[in-house]
Structure 1
Amino acid sequence: MKKILVIGLIVAVAGYTALMGFILLFGAGDDEGGRVGIGWISLLMMILAIFLCACQSVQYSQSKPPSAEELLAMDQQADLFQWEGTVYETNVDWTTSLHVTKHQQVGVIQKTAVKNFEHGTASRLQKGTAIYSVKEREDMLVVELHGKTKIYTAHAEG
């Protein structure tokens, strides 16, 4: 954000300098040397400002979804698992009012752990717990525990 503001400021200064340079250079009508020299200096400053803007390297960063370890560091009680490289978490506020339909089994939890998450690792679910897809959405998976369906939502980019 700061880089965008700096570039914007440089462009504004360059524009102002260019305007003043052209006014002084071409609108001076005074050949006594005073204004014409200032006009050339303003023009050179404008070119320098444009050159500096062009040389700015703009870096784009992409945010990535949080890892299971990062989520557990923020909330040690988080109920989550990793499936095919994506971390899924339950007890997400906006999912409490959703009604989803269990579709087909996609696999089972391989192990329970709090570190070194990989495919099939859960923080709370027991080894062997079945995981199901849902018909309505691709970013959710469900498990059934003690007769209740728990919705797990995929963590998108952070």
Structure 2
Amino acid sequence: MKINKLYVVVLNLIIVVALTACSTQNLSSDDIKTANPTAESFLSEKPEADIFVKGNIVYKNAEQIDWIQDTSFTLGEKVMTIKEVSNEGNNFKHGTASKLSVGTEIFELEKKNGHLLIALVNEEKIPYIGLIEG
């Protein structure tokens, strides 16, 4: 009994497709989770950190980042005011800061630059960068 070469090729192709289909996982975007750091997780690693929360994004002091040190900032629109101060990460919500004083105003840049915001403290512009995963 002769086996046709085409038959062998088709049979092998079917086996490969079947094995591939069985091993492939169907991942939806719900299965892949990326999460931005929380104030609680950030402060547990760096309790002395200078951070605040706007919306659900944690912003950390960015004065020591090289490219930010070389940037001049023109303030844009005011986006929030610090409402409370806490060192307990689980107490953080929109408007909570670890070091900035209550009443500190937070601004966007005139020319938006990613997730960079500016705190105005005694006429000094202090840059903060959003901690975004993903």
Asked if Structure 1 and Structure 2 have the same fold, meaning a TM-score greater than 0.5 normalized by the shorter chain, the answer is yes
Matched residues in 2 for 1:73 and 1:105: separation?
Answer: 30
Q: Secondary structure at 1:49's aligned position in 2? A: helix
Residue 122 of structure 2 is aligned to residue 155 of structure 1: no
Distance 2:80 2:5 in 1: 76
* Matches of 2:60 and 2:68, distance apart in 1: 11
Alignment identity in percent? 27
Equivalents in 2 of 1:110, 1:25: separation in Å?
79
1:103 and 2:70 equivalent?
Answer: no
Cα deviation code 1:82-137 (max 9, x no counterpart): 11222211125132211111123222111112222211111111222111221021
Query: Whose Rg is larger?
Result: 1
Structure with more relative contact order (C-alpha pairs < 8 Å, separation 6 or more): 2
The alignment status of 1:57 with 2:25, answered yes or no, reads yes
| Structure with the largest fraction of strand | 2
- Residue in structure 2 matched with residue 125 of structure 1 by the alignment: 100
In structure 2, stretches of 5+ residues that fail to align are none
> What is the number of equivalent residue pairs in this alignment?
123
Please state how far the C-alpha of 1:73 moved relative to its aligned partner: 2.3
Structure 1 stretches of at least 4 aligned residues deviating more than 4 Å after TM superposition: 42-46
Question: What's the TM-score once normalised by structure 1's chain length?
Answer: 0.64
TM-score of the pair, normalised by structure 2 = 0.74
Q: Distance in 2 between matches of 1:65 and 1:98?
A: 25
Structure 1 or 2: larger helix share?
1
Unaligned ranges ≥5, structure 1: 1-23, 28-38
| Matched residue SS, 2:89 | coil
